[in-house]
Structure 1
Amino acid sequence: MARPPRFDSDQILDAAVRLAASAGPAGVTMSAVAQAIGAPSGSMYHRFAGRTALLAEVWLRTVERFQEGYLAGLQGEPDPPKAARTAARHVVAWSRAQPEEAALLLHGAAEFGRADWSEEHIRRADAGNERVYAAVGGLAAALGAADAQGRDRIALALIDLPLSVVRRYLRAGEPLPPHAEDLAEECAAALLAGR
């Protein structure tokens, strides 16, 4: 009977997240991840075809986990203004609960080698982004944001401002202040009130 693998994909990806949070995407190499979990370098290639596949998977796992909660906030609340505030709060709350993963997402997919990803990895990334854009667009329509300026206002309220609340602290390696969720929600509510 074959011995079960000592290191599973999640252990490898967890180590890659820690490395990316501390050293950026350049710090995520097959040997660095293997060393971080105490695995032989060769065992890395049993799970991932190479560094490009590893970078794609660490990015996708992280962004998909974020998007799951974000979409739940947007789509799980029938009152559009409340859904918008919930989504804005989620950006901060998720970043507080997963600071290493949130720091990783500050880099963007391009820095994780998206140009070299497999078709399947690109398909997954695009599908997730399309779901988010569709949900934000649906909320914009429900809020009466019919023109480009209105849609930009919604994107600013639900994406850009909540990210700016967390970015400064994450980049400095500092914890988010206790009032960060409130700030994100207040910013979103203020923008929506001005529509």
Structure 2
Amino acid sequence: MARPPRFDTDQILDAAVRLAASAGPAGVTMSAVAQAIGAPSGSMYHRFPGRTALLAEVWLRTVGRFQKGYLAALGSDPDPRAAARAAARHVVSWSRAHAQEASLLLYGAAEFGRADWADEHGQRADLGNQRVFGSLRTLTEALGAADPRDHDRVVLALIDLPLSVVRRHLRAEEPLPPYAEDLTEECAAALLPAARP
């Protein structure tokens, strides 16, 4: 009977997150992750065919966890303005609670080798992004606004602005201030398209 694996996939990916947060995507190598969890380097290849697959999986798991909460926030209230405020807050509160994962996401998929990912990984990434931007389009329409400028205002308010708040503090390796969620919510609400008659 085969022995059960000593390290599961989540333990491997957790170590990869820590390495990415401290050394960037370049620090996530098969041997570095193996060393971080105390596993033989060769054992990594039983889970991932190579570094590209490892990078893809650590990115996809992290962004998937973020997007799950973000989509829940976007659907949290029938009032689109309240839902928008919740989504803006979520970016900051999730980043506060998951600082290493948030640091990883600041790099972007391209720096995790997106151009070389297998089709299956690329399709998973595209599907997640389509869900987010589809929900933002639905929110824009629920606000009574539908032109491209309005959609861009919603993206600015609910993605770009909250990320800029998070990025400034995480890149400086300092904690998010206690008022960051409130400030982000207030600024995002001010950017939303005005209600249409």
Contact 1:59/1:109 (8 A) holds in 2: yes
Contact 1:21-1:103 at 8 Å conserved across structures: yes
Measured after TM superposition, the shift of residue 63 of structure 1 is 0.2
SS of the residue 1:175 aligns to: coil
TM-score by length of 1: 0.98
Deviation at 1:76, TM superposition (A): 2.5
Q: How does 1:143-162 map to 2 (within 5 A)?
A: 143-162=143-162
SS of residue in 1 equivalent to 2:46: helix
Unmatched tracts of structure 2, length 5 or more:
none
Q: Is the 8 A contact 2:18 2:100 kept in 1?
A: yes
- Alpha-carbon separation, structure 1, partners of 2:163 and 2:145: 21
Which residue in 1 is equivalent to 2:43?
Answer: 43
Q: Percent identity between the aligned chains?
A: 77
Q: Is the 8 A contact 1:165 1:183 kept in 2?
A: no
1:64 matches 2:78: no
Work out whether residues 150 and 193 of structure 2, in 8 Å CA contact, stay in contact via their aligned partners in 1.
no
Q: Which has the larger share of helix?
A: 1
* Residue 66 of structure 1, CA deviation: 0.2
Q: TM-score, normalised by structure 2?
A: 0.97
| Residue aligning to 1:107 | 107
- Counterparts of 1:61-100 in structure 2, within 5 Å, are 61-100=61-100
Deviation at 1:77, TM superposition (A): 1.5
Provide the C-alpha distance between the structure 1 equivalents of 2:129 and 2:189, rounded to a whole number of angstroms. Answer: 24
Matched, 1:19 2:19: yes
**What is the alpha-carbon root mean square deviation over aligned residues?**
0.9
Aligned AA (1:156): L
Q: Describe the SS at the equivalent of 2:45.
A: helix
Map of 2:2 onto structure 1: 2
8 Å Cα contact 2:25-2:112 kept in structure 1: yes
Report the AA paired with residue 24 of structure 1: G
Aligned length in residues: 195
